[in-house]
Amino acid sequence: MFSVDKMHFEISERKMILRFFDVFFVLSALFMVGKIFDFDYFTFSTTNFYWTIVLAIYLNLFGTIFEMYNLQVASNQFLVLRSAVLTVSTTVLLYLLTPVFSPELPSKRIEILLFYFVVFLSLVLWRLFYVTFLASNRFFQNAILICDKEQVEELILGLENIDPHYKIIGFVHADAVEDEISEYHYVPNIKRAELFSFVKENSISEIVIASQKTEGITAELYQQLLHLLESGSIIREYTQVYESKTQRIPVHYIARDFYRFFPFSRSNHNKLYLLGVRFLEIATSVLGLFIGLILFPLILIGNAIGNRGKLFYTQERVGKDGVIFEILKFRTMITNAESNGAVFAATQDSRVTAFGKFLRKTRIDEFPQFINILKGDMAVIGPRPERPFFVKEIAEIMPFYETRHIIKPGLTGWAQVNYSYGATIEDSLIKLQYDLYYIKHRSIFLDLNIAFKTITTVLFYRGQ
C-alpha cells in the first residue's frame, strides 16, 4: 500500500505543485460560485477560453513577483497572507483593466467584490492547507551522507540551511578505518555493514557521497551501495545535491580541477541569445534612463537636502576579461567616505547618508548605470562588478574568483537577488558561488527569474 510517510518533494516539485494548485483552486472556486450564485462576470466558455489562460498567467506572474513561490514564504502563514493580498489585488486589478483579454467590466460593483474575494479566499485556504499538511514533517526528505568525519557539520549545514525539508539523519565514515563513534554533531554514525538495513528501515530517499578520498569507498561499502542501487535507492554526489538545493556552485568543496564539475553554459557563446540579450539591454536602458529623467528633479532636491554634495559618483570597477571601466552612480555616501582607505560597505554603514539609504533601498542609485550598459561596459544581468583593490585581495584568498569576469558584469544578478550585501570575504565567497551558478546555467529563463526577483527587491524595499 502507498505510504504517505515515504513521500517527499524536491524543491522544483513543490514549486510546481504550488503553481498548479493556485490556478486549479482559483478557477474551480470561480466555476462553483458561477454555478451556484448565477455569477456572470467570469464564465467558462469554449469561445472565450483565453479568459481562463490570461487569469492563470496573471496569477503565476504576480505570484512570482510577490514571492508566492518562495518556499520559505510558502511555509509561513503570516508571509503567505501578506503575499496573497498583494498577488490577488494586483491580479484582479490588472484583469479588470484589460477587458480585451478578459470579460467586460461588470455593471454591478458587488460582482467586482465577489470576484476579488472568491479569488482571494480560494488561494489563501489552499495555501493554509499547504502550510499545515504539505509543509509538515511527514514530507521531509531523509538522506544519509557518506563523508569524512571532519566534514560532517559543514556539509550538513550547507544542505539543511537552504532546504528546511531536507534532513541528514545519519552518516557513514569515508575513512578507511572506522572509528568507534556512535554520534557526531548530533547525527548518528551508521556502520557500513548496517547501511542497507538502516536505509530500508528509515525510508531514506537518497544516499549522498561527499568523500574525496577514494580509499574510503572500501569493497564492503561499495557492495552495500551497489545493493542499494539495485534495490531502487538513489545515490548522488554531494556537489550535484548542493547545486540543485542551493542554486550555488560549491567552490569551497571542490578542488582546482573544478572544470570537471563546471561545464560553462552554451548561452555564453550563443550568438542568437547574446544578440537578443543585447537588444533587450538597450531597450531596458532607454526605458530606465527615461524613468530616471522623470525622477531627476526629485533626486536633485533630495540630494541637495540629504547629501549636500555632488550628485554623481564614479568609481573604477573590473569588467569583462578583467578590463577596468568607470561605473556611474548617484552618490549615497558622505564626502571623503574612504579617507582611511578602501573598505567593504556594511549593511548598516554609517557613511551612507539618509537620502543615500533611500536611494539604495529603492535601487534608484543605480539608474545612471544604464549609461554603462549602453556603452557596453555592463549588462543588465550578470555578476556585480567589483573594485580592482578588492578583486586582487579576494583572488589571492579565494580560488576561481576571477572566473566571474568571463562575462559582462551586471546591474543586477543571481547573487544580488539571493543574498544580502557582501561585507566580508566570507560573504564574497557565497556571492561567488551564486555568480558561478549563473555563468554555468545562464539562459533566458534564469534571466527572467532574476528580473522578477529584482522587481520583488524593489517593491519590498530590500535594496542595499
Q: Looking at residues 371-387, what average pLDDT do you find?
A: 95
pLDDT tens sequence across 82-95: 999 999 999 999 98
Question: What does the DSSP 8-state code read for residue 176?
Answer: S
* Rounded Cα distance, 32 and 95, in Å: 20
Share of the chain above pLDDT 70, in %: 83
Alpha helices in 167-270 (DSSP H): 195-201, 219-230, 238-246
Domain with CATH 3.40.50.10700 in the chain: 140-246
Alpha helices in 314-387 (DSSP H): 354-361, 369-375
The cell for 432 is: 561567488
Please report the pLDDT score of residue 410 as a whole number. Answer: 95
Kindly report the pTM of this predicted structure: 0.79
Q: Looking at residues 45-74, what average pLDDT do you find?
A: 85
Please report the pLDDT score of residue 345 as a whole number. Answer: 61
Q: Is the pLDDT of residue 44 over 80?
A: no
Q: Is the pLDDT of residue 197 over 70?
A: yes
Please report the pLDDT score of residue 339 as a whole number. Answer: 57
pLDDT tens sequence across 120-167: 999 999 999 998 887 766 667 889 988 877 777 778 777 766 676 788
Helix (H, G, I), strand (E, B) or coil at 191: coil
> Span 140-246: which CATH code?
3.40.50.10700
**Maximum Cα interatomic distance, the chain, rounded to a whole number of Å:** 79
pLDDT tens sequence across 323-374: 999 999 998 887 766 656 556 665 666 788 888 888 888 889 999 999 999 9
Residue 297 CB coordination number (10 Å): 9
Q: Is the pLDDT of residue 5 over 50?
A: no
Residue 442 CB coordination number (10 Å): 22
The cell for 170 is: 545519519
Cell 549615497 sits on residue: 332
Q: Looking at residues 38-61, what average pLDDT do you find?
A: 79
Are 452 and 64 in contact by the 8 Å Cβ rule? The answer is yes
Q: Looking at residues 302-318, what average pLDDT do you find?
A: 89
Average pLDDT, the chain: 83
* Rounded Cα distance, 159 and 297, in Å: 48
pLDDT tens sequence across 170-179: 888 876 565 5
